[in-house]
Chain A
Amino acid sequence: MEWKLFADLAEAADGRRVTVEVDGGATVGDALDALLEARPALADRVLDDEGDLRDHINVLRNGENVFTADGLDTELEEGDELALFPPVSGG
């Protein structure tokens, strides 16, 4: 499963693309855990003191915000595209 990272999150992870291994039936949360385990500096950036994802961090699966539906419990499917980014700041 490949994560796409943007802005300071790509800098913290030292890369815009990070591939993680997850088992069949894994969720977005599982893929996030695998990502943050592989890139601890990124974990410091996106998790709060309780270890929860900070409110302003966006998680997208195939271009859709996962928090509008099942959130981190969303089950992954083969070939999904995952993305993690800070608040948008265009314009």
Chain B
Amino acid sequence: MQNLNSSIIRNPTILPRFSQLLSRDSSRDALRIMCILTFLLLVLPMNLQAQDTPDYFRQQCMNCHTIGGGKLTGPDLKDVTGRKDREWLVNFMMNPKSVIDSGDPYAAKLLEDAGGKTIMPLAYGMTKERAGKLLDLIEAESKLEKSQFKGLKISSEPFTPADISKGRDIFLGLSSLESKGTACISCHSMYDINALGGGRLGPDLTHVYERLKGRKSLSAWLVSPGTATMQPIFKNHPLQPKEIHSLVAYFEESANHNEKNKSGGLVAFFLAGLIGSTGLFFLLDYIWRRRFREVRKSVVEGASR
């Protein structure tokens, strides 16, 4: 046993012996397979998940634009190809921020119309080819009397205190979403969430009602949330009109509040974790409280002398 231990200690790494073994035929084959697989995975063209253009428009564009349904956060895209040439539009779709930054007057006007703060994000997977196909789609849909992208009819019923309360419950997860989507608190916070606060993967939504330009735009946005993080979740678990109504009621109400979130946030969370881990240290010490007694103690003392 001692010899075995000593020999392992002398050769603590197995890598040198691996390299010797790699001279064997079987291991050469294994290495060859690995190299081929790696090569194939890295070099073979890997297209993004195939997605047709209407689907892409629905997921990436409809949260801010309609075709013939009026302005939301972004402009109504009906006949957009008549207002600006295709080359400019494709370039803008592929690099919205850099076109705005370049001082282009038309892009500056678009930004101003959107409130001066909301810059069109670069849609995930946007390519020159995809931008061209989107413009073809917009052109075709613009000719129709009623485009499928005219947008949903947003409820205009006045908000009630019950709507606000329901919206808060949906935000916190206390009221579950009909299509089993994830509660907003997972990633977002609000002014009135105390204790440890809401999530911080996404932004605080206290003033989202103002940021997204009111009821119509915000409701349209929630029909098909546009950020790349939210999109895959809500694509398969869309919010229902009633849920959107309640959430928008809550967001409208929260927009009137300027007080800061009173939750303990990061510091309280870290301290709670630290207290928890200290408790676990004590627990481990308690479980193994006999570790230094009896035979072991004398052995350890003997070895330390």
Do the two chains belong together in a single complex?
Answer: no
Q: Which residues of B contact A (CB under 8 A)?
A: none
Q: Which residues of A contact B (CB under 8 A)?
A: none
